[in-house]
Amino acid sequence: MQAHDNTSNDLTNKDLTNAINELTNRVDKLHLQQHITFDERDAHGHTCDNKPIETNRNTTACKKSDTLSKKEQRKRATLYWGIELQPEDIFENEIIKSVLETNKELIPLKRIHSTLLFVGKRNDVREEVFYPLENKTCTLTINAYGISCNALSLRVSSIVYDNELIMHSYPNKQQHITLALKPGVPAKDSVLTLVGEGDVIDFNLIVRGHVKRYMY
């Protein structure tokens, strides 16, 4: 009877020891699993022992937040600086009307401007020089138009701001205003009508506009 009691106690102690060891092993595995890095996962998101682990939702949310932040920053970035003009000030001119009537393949633009500085993704421009000019009213003197089968543009000879500061044509390309384009022709190519790929006709016109920062 006493022997039976000892055997029963021994089995109980062994079972208790095994249970404690099993519990300890599970805790250790759980602790290890929580410290596994992304580098230890395979292509299917499993760890080296083939047990899937959850993606850190907070980390994903942060990355998504960072992406949205970059998009918002881009929306507030400058695409280019230019002078916004009123289309009717130019398209109501009888000579321009006649040119467009003769070249029906050219589609007049609904909004027109004269680019001062293209910024885009370039890191070599100093757009801050234009900050004091934002919304400044100015007068543009036009002395010719360029016409080809692809575009119609105006040549700007000078820009006079209301503070009487004069800025002449710019060094990289002829200062111009794109008026009309053949479908599929990019606006940036309209300047070619004034520099060898079109007919340049003397034409005098003075228009008013204001400096604007064009955003993405």
The mean pLDDT of the chain is 77
Q: How confident is the model at residue 49 (pLDDT cuts 50, 70, 90)?
A: very low
pLDDT at 214 over 70: yes
- Give the pLDDT score at 129: 81
d(CA 25, CA 180): 77
- Give the pLDDT score at 199: 96
- Give the pLDDT score at 117: 87
Question: Do the beta carbons of residue 188 and residue 139 sit within 8 Å?
Answer: no
Question: Who's near 127: CB < 8 A, 6+ residues apart?
Answer: 78, 81, 117, 119
pLDDT digits (tens, 9 = 90+) for 66-104: 555 655 555 568 888 999 999 999 999 999 999 999 999
Across the chain, which distance is largest between two alpha carbons, in Å? 126
Residue 19 parent element (H or E):
helix 2-34
- Give the pLDDT score at 123: 74
Q: How confident is the model at residue 37 (pLDDT cuts 50, 70, 90)?
A: very low
pLDDT digits (tens, 9 = 90+) for 155-195: 999 998 887 666 544 444 689 999 999 999 999 899 999 99
Residue 15 CB neighbours (<10 A): 10
Using alpha carbons, select from 90, 80, 86, 89 the residue that is nearest to residue 154: 90
Residue with tokens 């070599």: 124
- Give the pLDDT score at 24: 61
Beta strand pairing call for 176-181 and 199-215: unpaired
d(CA 34, CA 27): 11
